[in-house]
Amino acid sequence: MNEAGAEATMLPFEEIGGAPAVRALVERFYDLMDGDDRFAALRAIHAPDLTPMRQSLVGFLTAWLGGPRDWFEINAGTCIMSAHRQLGFGAVETAQWLQAMGQALAESGIPADLASRMNDAFERMGHAMQAG
Ligand code: HEM
């Protein structure tokens, strides 16, 4: 198979660099949320201990990017979109989530094309998750 063919069949999970890359992205995202005042409104709607969220977002993104699907087995029946809509957050929190994730993606050495596709998908999901 030539190089272009190999790229076409590559899963986003492989393209991003597998489990260590997903973990690094999520850690950077929550570190930014936790420590940067620009994300204070977003931080305020999360529980004090972010450890379970870090774990869960790693699992969700792993499956979402085409990697192992453990998260969907552990959370069988959970719709991430409905779960978020019930949280009742608005445009400010959504914008902060997208900004923090955009920065984490930009800083994580993820291929630019993949980062851009992920940003686009998160933007669509984020706005659909918003209550108002
Ligand atoms: C766009 C604005 C978003 C906001 C304001 C937001 C907010 C939150 C909050 C407050 C929690 C904690 C819920 C709790 O305490 O149980 C949470 C958890 C979580 N979020 Fe988001 N979120 C956003 C977008 C997203 C997106 C786009 C994804 C997926 C790509 C995502 C994936 C998750 C996951 C996997 C968890 C952990 C759920 C669990 O295991 O209980 N979030 N989010």
Cα separation, 45 vs 112, in Å, equals 30
Between the CA of 23 and the centroid of ligand 1 the distance, in Å, is 16
* Residue-by-residue pLDDT tens, the chain, 132 positions: 445 555 568 999 999 999 999 999 999 999 999 999 999 999 999 999 999 999 999 999 999 999 999 999 999 999 999 999 999 999 999 999 999 999 999 999 999 999 999 999 999 999 999 986
3-class SS of residue 55: helix
Ligand 1 and 125: CB distance under 6 A = yes
**Does residue 24 contact residue 96 with C-beta atoms inside 8 Å?**
no
- The beta strands (E) that lie in 1-132 are given as none
- The residue whose CA is least distant from atom 34 of ligand 1 is 57
**Does residue 116 contact residue 101 with C-beta atoms inside 8 Å?**
no
pTM exceeds 0.95 for this model:
no
**Does residue 93 contact residue 45 with C-beta atoms inside 8 Å?**
yes
Q: Return the CATH class of domain 11-129.
A: mainly alpha
